[in-house]
Amino acid sequence: MIRKETGIEAPKVRAAIKTLRVISAQKDNIPYYIEEDVRVRYIRYADDFLIGVMGDKDVSREIFNRVLLFCESELSMNIHEDKTGIRHRKDGVIYLGYRV
């Protein structure tokens, strides 16, 4: 499929965007996962956030630990243990009063 706006094939556009994201992350010294089988989604409202990881549980644990460390050390945030953890999507979570 060719994008109407640019006249470039959609897969080439997606690859270029991914390359830009990797370069931007490397410039800022931020780990960036480029495995095809891992996707990360982030939802935030005020001081609450939810990170969805579609991929291996070990990658989820690594992301979880890095986010906890960053929040505690860099942002001085207090993390509520009862609201924090890794859960399978089938189990769902309560986020801002809604089951997600």
Amino acid at 50: L
pLDDT band at 41 (very low <50, low <70, confident <90, very high): confident
Q: How far apart are CA 51 and CA 63, in angstroms?
A: 9
Q: How far apart are CA 34 and CA 18, in angstroms?
A: 8
Residue 39 phi/psi, 5-degree rounding, is: -130, 140
Residues 6+ apart with CB under 8 A from 63: 40, 51, 53
pLDDT per residue as tens digits for the range 7-17: 777 788 788 88
Q: What is the pLDDT of residue 34?
A: 60
pTM of structure: 0.58
